[in-house]
Structure 1
Amino acid sequence: MTEPTGIVLAGGQSRRMGGGDKALADLGGQPMIAHVIARLGCARAISANGDPARFAPFRLPVLPDSVAGWQGPLAGVLAGMDWAAARGIARIVTAPADSPFFPRTLAARLLATPARVALACHDGRDHPAFAAWDTGLAEDLRAALGRGERRMIDWMQAQGALRVAVPGDDPFFNVNTPADLDRARLRLAGQSPGAPVL
């Protein structure tokens, strides 16, 4: 398959939100993950643990971690790699379900790079959950998780990751707390600085 293949990373435990599923939190009358799916433009699956039925309205496959123990976003990336590789897909692009304001052009920009791993950065800060990944790296990633590696950026740098600079006013704002969700609602409504980057 040559068409862009996006995986939405929705496997977080939402501890700072007080539990629940922040991907499904209401944002402008839609679940937050709906904004992410729309902006990604090429979402083909959702990486998440737990009952997949909660994502049924999105009509996308739900991919649980293939490694035990809630090992973080790298485990979600591995699930996406495995799912895609089984379908002959050479590269995937990921975006987290709690960041609803990233540029709609981001997936195309990341996938246009020649690197086996390419990640977004903004104003000197890395945003490794927004990345393009060669699915041929799955076994290397599986082995790294088996060694206890968890930090996305460390493993990405070991693969020679390429950074893609993204302009804009806080395009990677993410929702971690109820206060963040309130700010996201204001931002979506145009009542605060930092309108969504188109």
Structure 2
Amino acid sequence: MKQPLGVILAGGQARRMGGGDKGLLPLGGARILDHVIERLDPQVAELALNANGDATRFSEFGLPVIADSIEGFAGPLAGVLAGLDWAAKKGADHIVTAAADTPFFPADLVPQLILAAETLGTPIALAATPDPKRGVARHPTFGLWPVALRDDLRAALSDGLRKVVLWTDRHGAGQALFPVAALDPFFNVNTAEDLALAEAYLKTGAA
């Protein structure tokens, strides 16, 4: 498999943070989105940002900004579809997505997702971590997605499907299991308390 393109999903409404773009919040002398870009950019062939509204608010990052093609807030799958359409125009076969509010995700996210898809023979691979209650917790905004399924996804969204795992389960998605040490690598910033915790992780070197 050739190196996929990367898409950062920043289309969320951030209701628990009072609205706005969580990725633009300050963290460790930068912004959350700076940390996400720093981790994902070396792992992919090209990088884009999925966001809606005025794209100029992200201009300083120097990334192409691709908006959802599905009207209304259709959730992460709409961002995945926007990324797949962008990748198709680039002649790419796959994208890997990452959430814009998750600054500590694994530096080997992409190779592990590719390895899982190839080993299991699945078209899609999602990141996952061990969970003491559920056994495994999937993180569906972190996934490897084939461009070949973009029309299938478009049809599903047009039919009203919004939950990521309902669509991925249709296609027998595989999982790449990542360890959890002192820090959950897929910890995301949803509240002011989460942001304070992320600052503490950075200061202690836990991240």
Query: Which TM class, normalised by the smaller chain length?
Result: over 0.9
Question: 1:1-198 counterparts in 2 under 5 A?
Answer: 2-40=2-40, 41=42, 42=44, 44-112=47-115, 113-114=117-118, 115-123=122-130, 124-169=136-181, 170-190=184-204, 195-196=206-207
Mapped partners of 2:72, 2:19: distance in 1: 18
Contact 2:140 2:164 in 1 (8 A): yes
Equivalent in the alignment of 2:133: none
Mapped partners of 1:139, 1:3: distance in 2: 22
Equivalent residue pairs, number: 193
Which amino acid in 1 is paired with 2:112? R
The runs of at least 4 consecutive aligned structure 1 residues that moved more than 4 Å come to none
How big is the shift at 1:75? 0.2
Mapped partners of 1:120, 1:21: distance in 2: 23
Contact 1:9 1:48 in 2 (8 A): yes
Q: TM-score, normalised by structure 2?
A: 0.90
Contact 1:93 1:111 in 2 (8 A): no
What whole-Å deviation, never above 9, does each CA across 1:145-171 have from its counterpart, x for those lacking one? 011101101101111100110012311
Which amino acid in 2 is paired with 1:88? G
Instruction: Provide the alpha-carbon RMSD of the alignment.
Output: 1.4
Mapped partners of 1:111, 1:8: distance in 2: 17
Deviates more, 1:72-81 or 1:42-51: 42-51
Q: Secondary structure at the match of 1:71?
A: coil
How big is the shift at 1:141? 0.4
Q: TM-score, normalised by structure 1?
A: 0.93
How big is the shift at 1:20? 1.8
Which amino acid in 2 is paired with 1:12? G
Mapped partners of 1:132, 1:86: distance in 2: 18
How big is the shift at 1:3? 3.3
Contact 1:84 1:90 in 2 (8 A): yes
What whole-Å deviation, never above 9, does each CA across 1:126-184 have from its counterpart, x for those lacking one? 00111000011100000110111011011011111001100123110000111111111
Mapped partners of 2:161, 2:178: distance in 1: 27
Contact 2:4 2:93 in 1 (8 A): no
Gaps (5+ residues) in structure 1?
A: none
Which amino acid in 2 is paired with 1:122? T
Name whichever structure is richer in helix by fraction: 2
Mapped partners of 2:98, 2:126: distance in 1: 10
Contact 1:110 1:118 in 2 (8 A): yes
